[in-house]
């Protein structure tokens, strides 16, 4: 789902809205997370000409970025499925 490029098809917009509904409900007791993080990230997906404040990409792409930055070994370990995507730990070691 690439919403920033022309917003995206209606199913992508509806999918994002449904996911964020779950996320917002999870932080119902902490409005600062909702207004200070979740909503700006959601709205940012619909504003392709605005500067990025978050950088989402697949875990394997982050691992490739760490290798390109000089790490000798990079591991990607899934932690848990979350309302938006799978949470992972990406660990680099041994700078070249």
> Would the pTM count as exceeding 0.85?
no
Confidence of residue 7 (pLDDT cuts 50, 70, 90): low
CA nearest neighbour of 83 among 42, 36, 35, 40: 42
Give domain limits for the chain. Answer: 1-53, 59-95
For the stretch 41-96, pLDDT in tens is: 887 777 777 777 677 788 999 999 999 999 999 999 999 988 888 899 999 999 88
Residue 57 to residue 64: CA distance in whole angstroms: 11
């Amino acid at each position: 789902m690439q919403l920033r490029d022309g917003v995206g098809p209606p199913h992508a917009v509806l999918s994002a809205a449904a996911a964020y509904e779950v996320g917002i409900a999870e932080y119902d007791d902490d409005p600062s997370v909702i207004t200070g993080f979740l909503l700006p990230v959601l709205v940012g997906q619909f504003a392709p000409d605005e500067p990025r404040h978050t950088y989402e990409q697949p875990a394997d792409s982050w691992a490739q970025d760490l290798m390109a930055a000089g790490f000798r070994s990079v591991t990607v370990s899934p932690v848990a499925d979350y309302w938006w995507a799978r949470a992972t730990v990406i660990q680099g070691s041994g700078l070249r």
